[in-house]
Structure 1
Amino acid sequence: MAKSRTIKTILCTAAIIGMSFAASCDRVHFSYKTELPHQSAPGYAAQYSADDKSPAGFQNKRIINISCDEKRYHCGLLDASERILYDSFLNAFLDFEESVNVHGFENDRIYYVRSCVLRDFPEIWYIGNGSITEYHKNGSVIDKEYVIEYLYGIEDIRNMQKEIEANVDRILESVDPEAADYEKLVFVYETIIKNTSYDQTVYEIVESDGDDSAVTDSASVYGVFVKGKAICEGYSKAAQYLLGRLGIECGFASGTAKKDGVAHAWNFVTLDGEPYFLDLTWGDPVCPDFPGSAVLYDYFCITTEQLLNTHVPDPAYPLPNCTAKRYEYFAYNELLLKEYSLQAVFDILKKAFALNKESACVKFADDKELYKAIKDLIENEAIFSLLQRIKEEGIKIDTGSYFYTLDDCNRILTIYPKFF
């Protein structure tokens, strides 16, 4: 049988098979007036009074408020007066109140603070844009309120929250509470990617019938944990939510893809006191040729320097400067080769395929070593001899065909064999 290979190239633009990962986030708007929000706060033992009823119909009103916590990243970007407004928004959203008094604040700052709350709390996914009402007397503004828009009815939100929580609880049952934070992070990253499909049709649905709920769901934790479909914001919010439940600090980041300016979202996470960037959407290959559970690690725990090669952060929300490299996926897992050798690649592939992983990835220290590997493994077809050696050691893989991805921006080569 003739040997065959399928070439899949990921350029610096993060494009794969003619489709840009960034394009998978097409038309998601992250300006503070249009950002889509997200669901309810676990981990807070709020107390309720059964006698209280909010105007919006929430029958149990909390008697303990949640305050702005600097561990919530975007809260820390605000000044003292804005943090008070942050608290008002947060508790109003959780209590399903009708409005928030915003007198004394400019409209752009009102929406900015509101956005900071939603960026810090992926649990609050059910809030729409809302509106601002001013009250005038003798030509002067005497009061101002932000009228909250709920994307669904209160009872619907409660039921949807129950669906989310039930599925999240099932996911977290698989986590060893004694596992290191890094292992928990890998679990969350892989679990979301393997169980979520990128929702490429969401905008076609909106354009055809005006169903805004399609975007709402796909941009939220509900899309990931209940529907199994999401866009980049949904992936990022789901990671933030699960990691928060596991006690790992994780923030939401947004901006654009560097190549074409398409809006995009990703995360930053703290391990051992050091921040790293994480992009789940670009870790999920959007291509029918890939195995259903294929995962890419090109943007797993990367530095600011690496991020800026392909991402442009929104300057309205300053991000942490990530310089640590300890937990960068390839370095931590000894998949970074300073020098190319056939034996070194064999060892990496064998280890991965012995664990029944659907792919094996190698990162090279510089372009010279990367292209030495490409010439030998791909052009000279040395990869077939490696696959044969692996098969001879009892690992059941197809030695006659494979496909690969090449991320030449990050110097990463990933091999996908076929398993029997």
Structure 2
Amino acid sequence: MKKRNSFGIFTLVLILSLCGCTQDKIPMSSSSDIQKEQDTLPEAEITPEEEPFLYGYQNLNEEEKTRYRQILAGIENYEDSVTVEACSEEEINRVSNLVFVDHPEIFWLEQQKYSFNQKENSDVDLLELNLVYNMEKDEIEDTKRQIEAKAEEWSQELSNCENEYDKIKYVYEFLGKNVLYDSESENNQNIQSVFLNQSTVCMGFAKATQYLLVRNGIFCTLVTGKVIPENMEHAWNLVRIGENYYYVDTTWSSSGFVPEEDSIQDFSYTYLCCTAQTLERSHVPDDNLTLPECKDDSYNYYKQNQSWYESYDESQIYQVLKASILEKREKEDFKFANEEAYQQAVSALAEGNLIEQAVQEFYSFDGENSYRWNVGCSDAELLITVYW
């Protein structure tokens, strides 16, 4: 799900399009040909160092964790099928989905696309998942090397980042500015689309964000859900800085504001380390994960850059406009804490003549000279941007 805004002088209309994050499932069929014994089922090893980064795994009970490790072992060993301890269809769907939530590096399978056969009326109840690959197995290792090489190249600047927030911000900016949103991109449900083709949709953006941050020691997990009011499927991330959690939506790093025809869309920091209150204006998470509280607002980009307004103060806004013109800034952001203040600002800046008044203090017009500006408004973000 990519948000798009059409742009014009004074007004901006928000348009959202589907990101293509649907997941297909092949119905269950019954079989009785599973012969493996329960106590010999292989399991992947999860080390104490890895476990804190596996948020989906942490959401499971002990029996589910066993099935998770069994599924992961088969995927990592490129098996055609995986045998696990038997459970309901709902349970195995949940566990297998969380394997993909925790492991963005798994790109060689069609996520959630498998058939499974259950042995009935036996002392040992087992379940067989038949895996569906999106490439030949002999291609996987070479593709891994290509992805890892590109990730290493893109991560070089992270060593210069002073703290966790700076690393998250770097990844958010880098992917947002260097990877194209394209609903027709190949392999757009996995990280191949990002690292090999530099074009993807929301699932690719979210998995690539997770992949880069985790490999650089930052907690990051995948979150899926819907955007409202369109009720379309979407994917984003949950990160942690210190003891606090925040949401990140790299797909929506573009504000959608286009100051001039054919220009690059402007950049938005609304969904960089934001709170649940900010996110839930437009995002509704699925219930597959128990998500922590995200209340801390310490890393609000607009607060840090003096573009945050708790209320609408016309004289304050007017002085900011004059300073912006005097200092010849390219643009000025006005991010508001609440709907009432935002709507007051829209009336003054996008529909009223407050900007014109500020401009006339600096320039005289004789009928031939002109001074042009554009105003972008995002109702979802409570953000107004004036472009000079």
1:116 and 2:88 are equivalent in the alignment: no
Secondary structure of 2:46 counterpart:
coil
Distance 2:46 2:339 in 1: 50
C-alpha contact (below 8 Å) 2:105/2:191 kept by paired residues = yes
Between 93-102 and 273-282, the greater mean CA deviation after superposition: 93-102
- In structure 1, which of residues 28, 37, 40 is the aligned counterpart of residue 21 of structure 2? 28
Aligned to 1:224: 194
Q: How does 1:335-350 map to 2 (within 5 A)?
A: 335-338=307-310, 339-340=312-313, 341=316, 342-346=318-322
Structure 1 position 278, deviation (Å): 1.4
- In structure 2, which of residues 134, 144, 155 is the aligned counterpart of residue 172 of structure 1? 155
Structure 1 position 368, deviation (Å): 4.3
Match of 1:295, as an amino acid? F
Aligned to 1:312: 284
Tell me the alpha carbon deviations over residues 7-46 of structure 1, each in whole angstroms, 9 at most, x when there is no partner. 4525xxxxx2xx21xx232x42258x48xxxxxxxxxxxx
Aligned to 1:407: 378
Match of 2:46, as an amino acid? I
Secondary structure of 2:273 counterpart:
strand
Structure 1 position 235, deviation (Å): 0.9
Tell me the alpha carbon deviations over residues 364-409 of structure 1, each in whole angstroms, 9 at most, x when there is no partner. 2344443443344334444367679999xxxxxxx83343321224
User: What is the TM-score when the length of structure 1 is the normalising length?
Assistant: 0.74
Distance 1:178 1:266 in 2: 23
Aligned to 2:204: 234
Distance 2:283 2:228 in 1: 5
Aligned to 1:192: 175
Match of 1:383, as an amino acid? I
Match of 2:240, as an amino acid? T
Between 189-198 and 288-297, the greater mean CA deviation after superposition: 288-297
Q: Percent identity?
A: 25
- In structure 2, which of residues 242, 245, 258 is the aligned counterpart of residue 275 of structure 1? 245
- In structure 1, which of residues 123, 145, 162 is the aligned counterpart of residue 128 of structure 2? 145
Distance 2:331 2:213 in 1: 25
Distance 1:320 1:151 in 2: 34
Aligned to 1:207: none
- In structure 2, which of residues 60, 85, 89 is the aligned counterpart of residue 107 of structure 1? 89
Distance 1:244 1:272 in 2: 15
Between 178-187 and 262-271, the greater mean CA deviation after superposition: 178-187
1:262 and 2:265 are equivalent in the alignment: no
Structure 1 position 150, deviation (Å): 1.8
1:96 and 2:68 are equivalent in the alignment: no
C-alpha contact (below 8 Å) 1:253/1:319 kept by paired residues = no
Structure 1 position 189, deviation (Å): 0.5
Match of 1:196, as an amino acid? V
Match of 1:344, as an amino acid? V
Match of 1:292, as an amino acid? I
Secondary structure of 2:372 counterpart:
strand
Q: Residues 370 and 293 from structure 1, CA distance in 2 versus in 1: closer, same or farther, beyond 3 angstroms? A: closer
- In structure 1, which of residues 155, 159, 164 is the aligned counterpart of residue 142 of structure 2? 159
Aligned to 2:39: none
Structure 1 position 96, deviation (Å): 1.5
Secondary structure of 1:248 counterpart:
coil
C-alpha contact (below 8 Å) 1:348/1:362 kept by paired residues = no
Between 159-168 and 66-75, the greater mean CA deviation after superposition: 66-75
C-alpha contact (below 8 Å) 1:250/1:268 kept by paired residues = yes
- In structure 2, which of residues 42, 49, 56 is the aligned counterpart of residue 74 of structure 1? 56
Match of 1:319, as an amino acid? L
Secondary structure of 1:148 counterpart:
strand
Distance 2:143 2:341 in 1: 51
Q: Residues 114 and 344 from structure 1, CA distance in 2 versus in 1: closer, same or farther, beyond 3 angstroms? A: same
Aligned to 2:166: 183
C-alpha contact (below 8 Å) 1:30/1:263 kept by paired residues = no
* Alignment coverage as a number of residue pairs: 352
Distance 1:147 1:5 in 2: 52
User: What is the TM-score when the length of structure 2 is the normalising length?
Assistant: 0.79
Aligned to 2:114: 130
Q: How does 1:354-373 map to 2 (within 5 A)?
A: 359-373=331-345
Tell me the alpha carbon deviations over residues 179-198 of structure 1, each in whole angstroms, 9 at most, x when there is no partner. 21111111110110111111
Structure 1 position 252, deviation (Å): 0.7
Q: Residues 388 and 187 from structure 1, CA distance in 2 versus in 1: closer, same or farther, beyond 3 angstroms? A: farther
Distance 1:403 1:161 in 2: 45
Q: Residues 249 and 115 from structure 1, CA distance in 2 versus in 1: closer, same or farther, beyond 3 angstroms? A: same
Q: Residues 106 and 123 from structure 1, CA distance in 2 versus in 1: closer, same or farther, beyond 3 angstroms? A: same
C-alpha contact (below 8 Å) 1:277/1:299 kept by paired residues = yes
Distance 2:255 2:383 in 1: 14
1:243 and 2:202 are equivalent in the alignment: no
Match of 1:411, as an amino acid? L
Match of 1:65, as an amino acid? E
Q: Residues 236 and 388 from structure 1, CA distance in 2 versus in 1: closer, same or farther, beyond 3 angstroms? A: farther
Structure 1 position 285, deviation (Å): 4.8
Distance 2:157 2:59 in 1: 35
Q: Residues 372 and 346 from structure 1, CA distance in 2 versus in 1: closer, same or farther, beyond 3 angstroms? A: farther
Between 116-125 and 360-369, the greater mean CA deviation after superposition: 360-369
Structure 1 position 224, deviation (Å): 1.3
Match of 1:410, as an amino acid? E
For structure 2, which runs of at least 5 residues remain unmatched after alignment? Answer: 1-6, 27-41, 364-369
